[in-house]
């Protein structure tokens, strides 16, 4: 099978003649390995080990940066990776129908979502190549950096399992904003920078999709994330304030990962707290202004907003 590369032409509402607009329309290349995975599964139906061998021979060479072992720095063995792949194929029949629909919807809807994003952020070049694939349970969407190069990746399998059949517009706008902003503030993630990136992306997604539900904004993972955080908002903000400059794994995991921490506060609460911070900052700035803040200005804006929110809760 050859790599399926789709060139997505984006229509934008620019005040120029249509021929000129068409000539200037940006192009995104979509490397579709999601369909390739389904084809491997179908021709090896009922034989996950054979499918895994087929996968290694036909799909891994097309994106070795993602599927290879080098990225794990020795923390994942070849046998462990083979087991992950075999399990993905063994589990595939249960999601096959939803997976095929998700792939079709992605192909159909992505140009529309990019066009609506560019209507708000017209300087977004929409030039990053997209890798659409089965992520072996790793991710629904986002960027990954391998050997110093950023890749824009969407995982059809996790999109099916985590998103269901809901409207994906807010999700796409969230991820497109990450590609647009691409803020780099040092070699290590810190709480404040992740809070800013994820919170602002969530804020933008809601502004562009004002009817989006908490589920469509991915603010219900785990279920009850928003109401559980609101019930403890004062303590959550105090905890956040104390950790703003932390790069500790425990702090980052508690705020941004589903495994949570030992505070008793909701896992992944950083997404909702980040949204509240961005909403507070947005009272005095446009989304475009917020997106263009440099690291120093963003750090100050985040810290000031956290203090204001703490004052409101405490008052």
Q: Residue 261 phi/psi, 5° resolution?
A: -145, -165
Report the mean per-residue pLDDT for the chain. 90
User: Between 79 and 188, where is the model more confident?
Assistant: 79
The sign of the CA dihedral 86, 142, 272, 226 is negative
The C-alpha atoms of residue 56 and residue 82 are separated, in whole angstroms, by: 9
Count of structural domains, the chain: 2
Is residue 195 a contact partner of residue 255, using CB atoms and an 8 Å limit?
yes
Q: Are residues 73 and 94 in the same domain?
A: yes
Single out the residue in 153, 181, 209 at which a domain terminates: 181
Q: Are residues 249 and 271 in the same domain?
A: yes
Per-residue burial over 196-231, b if 16 or more Cβ lie within 10 Å, else e, is bbbbbbbbbbbbbbeebebbbbbbbbeeebbebbee
Does 95 reside within a domain? yes
Residue 111 has pLDDT above 60, yes or no: yes
The arithmetic mean of pLDDT across residues 223-251, rounded, is 97
Q: Which of 47-51, 232-236, 266-270 has the least mean pLDDT?
A: 47-51
Residue 98 has pLDDT above 90, yes or no: yes
Place of tokens 């997604």: 205
Q: Are residues 104 and 10 in the same domain?
A: yes
Q: Are residues 201 and 150 in the same domain?
A: no
The residue range of the domain holding 242 is 191-314
Q: Which long-range contacts (CB under 8 A, 24 or more apart) does 19-28 make?
A: 26/118, 26/125, 26/126, 26/127, 27/126, 27/127, 28/110, 28/114, 28/126, 28/127, 28/128, 28/129, 28/130
Which CA distances in Å does 221 have to 164, 209, 224? 13, 19, 8
The arithmetic mean of pLDDT across residues 48-74, rounded, is 95
pLDDT at 186: 67
pLDDT at 203: 99
The tokens for 160 are: 């099916």
Q: Residue 131 phi/psi, 5° resolution?
A: -110, 115
Q: CB neighbours of 294 closer than 8 A, spacing ≥ 6?
A: none
Does 28 reside within a domain? yes
DSSP 263: S
Does 113 reside within a domain? yes
The percentage of the chain sitting over the pLDDT mark of 70, rounded to a whole number, equals 90
Q: Are residues 129 and 90 in the same domain?
A: yes
The C-alpha atoms of residue 60 and residue 211 are separated, in whole angstroms, by: 39
The C-alpha atoms of residue 219 and residue 84 are separated, in whole angstroms, by: 28
Q: Are residues 57 and 157 in the same domain?
A: yes
The arithmetic mean of pLDDT across residues 21-25, rounded, is 46
Per-residue burial over 138-157, b if 16 or more Cβ lie within 10 Å, else e, is ebbbbebeeeeeebbbbbbb
Q: Are residues 138 and 215 in the same domain?
A: no
The arithmetic mean of pLDDT across residues 254-272, rounded, is 94
Residue 19 has pLDDT above 80, yes or no: no
pLDDT tens digits, one per residue of 166-175: 899 999 999 9
Residue 131 has pLDDT above 70, yes or no: yes
The arithmetic mean of pLDDT across residues 128-135, rounded, is 96
Does 186 reside within a domain? no
Which CA distances in Å does 209 have to 39, 124, 172, 227, 263? 34, 18, 11, 21, 33
């Amino acid at each position: 099978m050859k790599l399926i590369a789709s060139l997505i032409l984006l229509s934008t509402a620019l005040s120029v003649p249509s021929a000129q607009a068409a000539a200037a329309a940006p192009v995104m290349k979509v490397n579709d390995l999601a369909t390739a995975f389904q084809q491997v599964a179908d021709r090896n139906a009922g034989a996950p080990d054979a499918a895994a061998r087929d996968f290694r021979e036909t799909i891994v060479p097309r994106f070795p940066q993602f599927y290879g072992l080098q990225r794990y720095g020795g923390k994942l063995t070849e046998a462990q990776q083979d087991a992950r792949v075999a399990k993905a194929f063994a589990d595939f029949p249960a999601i096959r129908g939803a997976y095929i629909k998700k792939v079709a919807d992605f192909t159909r809807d992505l140009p529309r979502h990019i066009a609506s994003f560019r209507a708000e952020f017209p300087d977004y070049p929409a030039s990053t190549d997209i890798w659409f694939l089965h992520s072996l349970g790793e991710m629904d969407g986002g960027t990954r950096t391998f050997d110093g190069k950023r890749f824009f990746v969407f995982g059809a399998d996790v999109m099916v399992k985590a998103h269901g059949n809901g409207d994906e517009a807010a999700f796409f706008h969230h991820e497109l904003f990450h590609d647009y902003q691409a803020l780099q503030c040092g070699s290590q993630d810190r709480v404040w920078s992740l809070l800013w990136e994820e919170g602002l992306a969530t804020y933008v997604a809601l502004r562009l999709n004002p009817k989006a539900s908490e589920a469509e904004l991915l603010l219900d993972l785990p279920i009850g994330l928003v109401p559980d955080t609101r019930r403890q908002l004062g303590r959550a903000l105090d905890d956040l304030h104390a950790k703003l400059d932390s790069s500790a794994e425990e702090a980052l995991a508690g705020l941004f990962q589903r495994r949570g921490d030992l505070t008793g506060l909701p896992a992944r609460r950083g997404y909702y707290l980040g949204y509240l911070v961005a909403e507070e900052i947005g009272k005095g700035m446009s989304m475009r202004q917020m997106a263009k803040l440099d690291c120093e200005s963003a750090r100050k804006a985040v810290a000031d907003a956290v203090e204001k929110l703490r004052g409101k809760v405490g008052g």
